[in-house]
Chain A
């Protein structure tokens, strides 16, 4: 492809993406970081106040609560998603009747708008009018009814389950595509060797799906920080900011409390955390990337 690689072609092909990316991702990050050193109420001028936003951040109990909420969602959702979507892909990869219908149904939550996901789950998880609590009360297990959302404790777990429901089909589809790419002769060879089910999965399937697993992990890690509408819809940040996540707390401080400087400092910290996590993952698993 050397004849095609004159510098002007390379530059020409790359410039549109680079331009849009720099203007709408890099620049906003710097603007956010810039505002994080100021005190700004949305109107008028922004007054510089150094690191006081960050000092406030470290001593803010709500910030740490939102940090832990995000951490809970992160661990619970990623473990559930990774494991269940992999095994679901193994299940749905077989030739069963209605398996295509099942695949489509399992995928469907991924294509509806996240706000709608939030609205739907309110009617399931709400302590008073939601299905779960009412079914529990109806069968006499009323003591098991909890405040799934709107309470001080269980909200992050509920959010993780909702996110799991939303993304399961999408990740399962990626794994199914990866499973289909395992060459037939490898599978036949191991059947001839008398390998049983679990051994086949552990020694053959998982190693051959490395790049898919890597893709899915990246999608999960980056996706967790994009959970926003679900939290807003189900709890709105919880009773008194108790169920905020890092992202929603930043939004709440910026647009609802009018404290733009502080909100932007939370945003900057969130960005650094997510960058660190993604970078850590790429560093550890660099050799497992597809073609590097």
Chain B
């Protein structure tokens, strides 16, 4: 059992880490109630009252329902497409038998090489490709996002050690996927 002294140290550490991690959010919240002049002149002062004018301006300026709808649509479409294609290819790579054992490793290696690519350096070429295929609106966002090696890497580490039971595989992978997709 953990000694009382160690337990106290652990609680303190946990509290410190949590506070340090959450502090930026809380500071943001506090700042959102101050006016521009306040922020520039007295950065450290607490807001005098719950000043909702910033929120009112934001709601007026941006079309929030449309923005949320766009985000939601892209998220759902990407999630479904990515779940399906990554699960199928992980299954093909990890569980199916091949005549040449190097075949699955070669394909896997090829796909994993994409892990090291940063999407931002490819912005211009992807733009050209989107133009070429005539992809507009959400589809222009969905497809580049779906071409993600990280998904394949995580899925593979899940699928490979599982026993060949289709039910088990699909349950584990889908849960892992929903977690990964939600947090990405």
Contacts and interface: CB of A to CB of B under 8 A. Distances in A.
Question: Are both chains from one complex?
Answer: yes
Interface of A: 1-2, 4-5, 9-10, 12-14, 16-18, 20-21, 23-29, 31-32, 35, 88, 91-92, 94, 96, 98-99, 101-102, 105-111, 120-121, 123-124, 128-131, 134-135, 138, 165, 168-170, 211, 215, 218-219, 221-222, 225-226, 228, 247-248, 250-251, 254-255, 260, 263-264, 266-267, 270-271, 274-275, 277-279, 290-291
Contacts of A170: 183
B124 A17 contact: no
A169 B44 contact: no
A274 B117 contact: yes
Contacts of B13: 91
Contacts of A108: 21-22, 25
Nearest to B85: A16
Closest 10 CB pairs between A and B? A28-B125, A267-B121, A13-B92, A31-B125, A24-B147, A278-B116, A17-B89, A28-B122, A225-B118, A13-B88
B35 to A, nearest CB: 13
A251 B27 contact: no
A13 B91 contact: yes
Main secondary structure of the interface of B (DSSP, over half): helix
Contact of B96 (A4, A94, A124, A260): A4
B126 interface: yes
Interface in B88-108: 88-89, 91-93, 95-98, 107
B115 A14 contact: no
Interface residues of B, number: 63
A274 B17 CA distance: 31
B174 interface: no
A123 B152 contact: no
Which of A4, A14, A29, A131 has the largest count of B CB atoms less than 10 A from its CB? Answer: A14
B81 to A, nearest CB: 8
A251 B160 contact: no
Given A13-B92, A108-B25, A290-B160, A275 B116 contact: yes
Contact of B39 (A31, A129, A279): A129
Nearest to B164: A1
Contact of B149 (A21, A92, A96, A247): A21
Contacts of A131: 27, 43-44
Interface string B112-136: 0111111111111110110000000
B23 to A, nearest CB: 8
B92 A14 contact: yes
Given A17-B85, A96-B10, A169 B144 contact: no
A88 to B, nearest CB: 6
B116 A274 contact: yes
A129 B40 contact: yes
B75 interface: no
A94 B2 contact: yes
7 contacts: A9-B96, A21-B111, A24-B146, A29-B125, A134-B43, A277-B116, A278-B116
Contact of A168 (B21, B93, B118, B120): B21
B18 interface: yes
A103 B124 CA distance: 38
B11 interface: yes
Contacts of A10: 92, 96, 98
Contacts of A267: 121-122
B167 to A, nearest CB: 14
A32 B129 CA distance: 12
B28 interface: yes
Given A94-B2, A130-B43, 12 more contacts: A4-B96, A5-B98, A10-B98, A23-B129, A28-B125, A32-B122, A120-B25, A129-B40, A169-B21, A215-B157, A247-B121, A250-B120
Contact of A13 (B7, B10, B89, B117): B89
B59 interface: no
Interface string B10-49: 1101100110011011011001000000011001100000
B161 interface: yes
